[in-house]
Amino acid sequence: MNGEDLIEKVLRAGGRAADEVEVFYVREESVGTDIKKGILGAAEESEAWSMAVRTIKDGRIGFSSTGDPDRWKECLDAALTSGRMATPQQWGGLPKPAEIPGAAPSSDPDLVVAVEDAARMVDDLLSGAAEHPVDVVGGSADLARAYLAVANTSGVFYGMDRTAASVSLETIREQSTGYEFDVSPFRADIDARSVGERSADLAARSLSGRDIETGRYDVVLSPIAAGSLLGQILLPALSGRSVKAGRSPLADKLGETVFDENLSIYDDP
């Protein structure tokens, strides 16, 4: 049974027992390789399948998920059971079908999920790192292709293909380390050799680092450093769950200026 047929079966069966049903479906194939002590280590191919079901009955929301397509009925029953134990809440209904604006493509028809292709990316990483006198600590090259779909009993059925290629490399020279990575839906966008060279260059150039006195300084951050600060400090503070629970420092700052006026953040899923 293909994914679309299974989703329709879950919606039909669930619609007879609940007011509304929603299904999220993912099917993926991937290959991952890693680098250990400067050489290609393990290479692994895998296939994954998952489905999540949400049911709504009299304002009670139930949820369950499974990784086995043959157990879809058990998954639906578990969602219905959890809904019966949930506290009723005001519910405005699941979304209806709507026109979705065009978005940038996220699938590369030329991406091949194969160990041989990932191994070539590893070779390019190591070739780039060899441009500098460093040791390779670790790294990886990964390729993946997935199909994702979301559907509900209100007539919504959106599906999309998605691909991903990624590489990373960590290097060291004495006590100095370097790290670089790249990720894109398109295989042609990944320049693994450049990633390896930049990682090694950072480790080599950082060798003569020294301590400085505590104080206020103007600093220039690399994209990875800036991304780490945003990912570890700013993004958790913007979580709706964290705000609602009062764990975010922004929880009571609605309407206030909290960042530099030159910093703009857009939430555009």
pLDDT tier, 12 (very low <50, low <70, confident <90, very high otherwise):
very high
* Span of 60-64, 80-84, 88-92 with lowest mean pLDDT: 88-92
3.40.50.300, 1.10.580.10, 3.30.2290.10, 3.40.50.1110: which CATH number matches 3-208+220-245? 3.30.2290.10
Contact 59, 35 (CB under 8 A): no
Q: Look at residue 210 in the predicted model and tell me its pLDDT.
A: 83
Tell me how far apart the alpha carbons of residues 10 and 75 are, in angstroms, rounded to a whole number: 9
pLDDT tier, 145 (very low <50, low <70, confident <90, very high otherwise):
very high
Token duo for residue 205: 């150039």
Nearest Cα residue to 139 out of 222, 32, 223, 44: 32
Summarize the confidence of residues 91-110 as an average pLDDT. 87
What's this model's pTM, rounded to 2 decimal places? 0.79
Q: How many CB atoms lie within 10 A of CB 99?
A: 5
Does residue 269 surpass a pLDDT of 70?
Answer: no
Strands 135-152 and 157-173: antiparallel
Summarize the confidence of residues 17-46 as an average pLDDT. 93
In the sheet with 20-36, reading across from the earlier edge strand, the strands are 60-66, 39-57, 20-36, 135-152, 157-173, 176-184
The full set of domain ranges for the chain reads 3-208+220-245
Q: pLDDT per residue over 213-227, tens digit each?
A: 999 999 999 888 888
